[in-house]
Amino acid sequence: MTATTHLDRALKLATIALTLSVGSCALDPVHDGAVKALGPEDPAIPQGPFHRQGQPCAVCHSVQGPAKTTFVLAGTIFYGPGSPTGADQASVRIIDATGAKKCFITNCKGNFFVRPEEFPKSQPIAFPLLVSATKGSAYKAMASRIGREASCANCHRNPRFFDSPGQVRLYETESQVPKQSGECPPVGPPVFDPDACKENFQ
């Protein structure tokens, strides 16, 4: 084998290596790391609206994926201070920077999500947002605005600390939490109370 053949092979290998490295530039290692940090799925809960309660939804549900659907805002509302139970049928009220008011209902895991399609194409959701959550007599409003974060859980983490106000919890004590009934995920399609999300923003 001549030196020229060696050189040809080296050049081919270098070209392949360069092509591969350029291809890998399309990946975002920060996003990749954030997705991996979420850990595996709970085998008891299939992928869908009831999964990954309390996790930052828009890590995966963003244009970068890997989820197929995109959320512009999503999160979980919990019941009491020590309860891991999501608040079912709670209303999440949003007022965006244009003054558009929208209301979303949590499912039986306390999860809610806002898709871009929920807002008209001519006037998409505009941050910052004012957000409050309510269920029955329980009412919680954010003290600050949401500047641009789509996942509630990126700021609302457990435990409460200098950099987080804790998870969103509707009740101050466990005794206030209403008794739960029914299966979650529900056997049939979830039933929403149309009166639960009245346009009564405060």
Contact set for another protein, span 50-69 (CB under 8 A)? none
Cβ neighbours of residue 75 under 8 Å, at least 6 residues apart? 57, 92, 111, 112, 151, 152, 153, 156, 168
Q: Are 126 and 96 in contact (CB under 8 A)?
A: yes
Binding-site string for another protein from residue 101 to residue 140, where x marks contact by CB under 8 A and - marks none: ---------------------------x-x----------
Check binding of 83 to another protein (CB under 8 A): no
Q: Does 146 bind another protein (CB under 8 A)?
A: yes
d(CA 73, CA 133) in angstroms, rounded, equals 14
Contact residue for another protein among 155, 168, 170, 197 (CB under 8 A): 155
- Per-residue tokens: 53: 């309660």
CA distance 177 to 6: 75
- Among positions 132, 154, 190, 196, the unique one binding another protein when judged by CB under 8 A: 154
Q: How many residues bind another protein (CB under 8 A)?
A: 21
Q: Which residues bind another protein (CB under 8 A)?
A: 2-4, 7, 128, 130, 143-149, 154-155, 160-165
